[in-house]
Amino acid sequence: MKNYKLVIFDWDGTIMDSVTKIVNCMHESALKCGLVAPSDEAIKNIIGLSLEHAVATLFPDNANLYADLIAQYKHQYKHVDATPTPLFTDVANTLARLRDKGVILAVATGKSRVGLERLLDETKLDHHFAATRTSDDAQSKPSPEMLLQLLSELDVSADEALMIGDTKIDMAMAQAAHIDRVGVTMGVHNEVQLNEFEPIATVGSYQQLSALLLD
């Protein structure tokens, strides 16, 4: 395995086991707005997009309700839904080991800036990351803008960076930025789906990821 200078992580479904909560909150938001809730699969397939893009994708015929859907989703996620969102096993240890090796770490997520900062604080992971990008800072995935901004800020070339994510959206973003990628199957998409975007590897746990990057 190549020694990468920068490793960039997605958040939902990659660092945090939050897919079920996202699905539940989007279901409930639709119902509260008087709409038919999308299928679990449809919701999973928008994870990684900015909330605005996600709502537009799921409810293309209800533009008049987008502001209400977004507000309701944020309320459900922060104040109502109690679905646990633990970190995946061995996340903190893997991040620490990568930093100890001298690897620069970053986050590229479809979450809002406020949402990411809250979770970085709650999980005590904020000190691991040299830089972060959210849907408030750049164009929504799968645009490569988040990654290109991180490369510029951290003065790293594309061939020195690696993107780790659980969705086809993450893989497409990295491919568009000409960055190597590793798919993780703990979140939304499976190995076959992730492999459509030619990752250098696909893993099913942080133990496997550590073995790939560190051993």
**Which string of DSSP letters, residue by residue, matches 34-80?**
T-PPPPHHHHHTTBTB-HHHHHHHH-TT-GGGHHHHHHHHHHIIIII
pLDDT band at 215 (very low <50, low <70, confident <90, very high): confident
Instruction: Name 93's bridge partners.
Output: none
Q: Which residues contact 78 (CB under 8 A, 6 or more apart)?
A: none
Ordered structural domains, the chain, with CATH = 6-17+86-214 (3.40.50.1000), 19-80 (1.10.150)
Look up the pTM and report it.
0.94
pLDDT band at 29 (very low <50, low <70, confident <90, very high): very high
Structure confidence by residue, pLDDT tens digits, 115-164: 999 999 999 999 999 999 999 999 999 999 999 999 999 999 999 999 99
Q: Region 182-187: what's the mean pLDDT?
A: 97
Mean pLDDT of the chain: 96
Specify the 3-state DSSP secondary structure of 177.
coil
Q: How many angstroms separate the first and last alpha carbons of the chain?
A: 9
Instruction: Name 163's bridge partners.
Output: 8, 181
Distance of CA 162 to the CA centre of its chain: 14
**List of E strands, the chain:** 6-9, 104-108, 131-133, 161-165, 180-184, 201-203
Whether the bond between 60 and the residue before it is cis, its omega within 30 degrees of 0, is no
107 phi, psi to nearest 5 deg: -125, 140
